[in-house]
Amino acid sequence: MKLINLIILMPLLISSTFTAYASPQKIEVGTIAIPPYGINEQGESSGLYYELADLIVSNAGYECNNKIAPYARIVKSLKFGDTDLTIMFRQPELDNYVDYIAALPSKSLVVMGLQGQAFENISGLSGKKLVYLRGAKFNKLIDNNKAISKHLVKDFTLGIKMLVSGRADAIIGPLQSIQRAALELEIAGNKKITFGEPLIIETRTPWIQISKKSRAGIDIKKLRQSFLQLEEANTLNILQAKYNAY
C-alpha cells in the first residue's frame, strides 16, 4: 500500500477502532428513596424501581448510573436535566419538564392514623397534623386545605416516628411504602405499630419519565421497547413479589 493511501486511511482505522471499543452512553437515573422502591442499607442500593430502572437502561444498550435520592431532590434535578430518568408518580409540576414513556400498575394513596384514629373523608382532616413527604403532591383537596397542618418529612420512617411520638395525627402516601416503613421500625424497635383503617384518597400511576433537558441523547423508543420486553418477560411481577410491593 502506498504511503499516501495509508496516511489517508489511518484516521478512519483509528476512528473505527475507538468506535468498536467505545463505552455505551451513560444515563443518570434517580430512584426515589422510598422503600420498597429505593432502598439504601449500609451503602448497598436496591429496591423495586432501582432494579427495574437498571434493567430498562441496560437492556436498551445504555450504561446506568443509578442513585437513590429524596423525592424533592429528584424533582428538582429532572427540571435541570441533571437526572435523565426516574420512575415515580406523575407530578403536574413536571409536565413541562419530562416525557412520560411508560406506565406501571397504579397504586392506592391513603391517609392513616394509628389504631383508634380513623378518617371517613378528607374534611375529617381539618385541624389535624398530617405528615407529608417533602416534594410530593398527593391530593389537591388536601394540598389546598389550610385547615390541615402539614409536616414535611424526607421519608416515611421519620413520618411514622412522628405518629408514634404523638407529634402528628396521620400520614399520607402509598399504602405499601407506609407499611414497609412501619415494618422496618417494628423490627428495629421490637414494638408493634398498628394503624387505623386507611382512607383511600386517590389512585395514582407511576411512570417511567425522562427529563426534556437530558443531555444524554436518549432514544425514547428504545427505552420504551426495553420496558415492554421486560414486561412481556414478567420481570415487573417478579420484582414486585421480591419486594412485596403489590
pLDDT tens digit string along 198-222? 999 989 899 999 999 999 889 999 9
Q: Would you state the pLDDT for residue 246?
A: 60
pLDDT at 180: 86
SS3 17: helix
pLDDT value, residue 199: 96
Could you give phi then psi for residue 227, rounded to 5 degrees? -65, -45
pLDDT of residue 23: 60
The residue type of 56 is: I
Instruction: For the chain, list the domains and their CATH numbers.
Output: 23-106+206-242 (3.40.190.10), 107-204 (3.40.190.10)
Given this model, what pLDDT does residue 115 score?
94
- Strand 170-174 with 107-112, pairing: antiparallel
The predicted pLDDT at position 91 comes to: 86
Rounded to the nearest 10 degrees, the angle between the axes of helix 235-242 and helix 220-232 is: 70
Residues 99, 216 contacting (CB under 8 angstroms): no
Which pLDDT score, from 0 to 100, does residue 53 have?
Answer: 98
Alpha helices in the chain (DSSP H): 3-20, 48-59, 71-80, 140-143, 156-164, 175-189, 220-232, 235-242
* Per-residue pLDDT at 43: 84
d(CA 227, CA 231): 6
Cell output for 13: 482505522
Characterize the bridge pairing of strands 149-153 and 129-133. parallel
* pLDDT of amino acid 126: 95
Specify the pLDDT at position 13.
45
- What distance in Å separates the CA atoms of residue 25 and residue 181, rounded to the nearest whole number? 35
The count of other CB atoms within 10 Å of the CB of residue 239 is 19
**According to the model, what pLDDT value does residue 18 have?**
42
Q: What is the 3-state secondary structure (H, E, C) of 88-132?
A: EECCHHHCCCEEEEEECCCEEEEEECECCCCCCCHHHHCCCEEEE
Grid coordinates belonging to 4: 499516501
CA–CA distance from 116 to each of 158, 169, 233 (Å)?
Answer: 21, 11, 44
What is the structure's pLDDT at 245?
67
Question: Looking at residue 176, what is its pLDDT?
Answer: 85
Q: Within the chain, which residues score under 50 in pLDDT? A: 3-21
H or E element in which residue 153 lies? strand 149-153
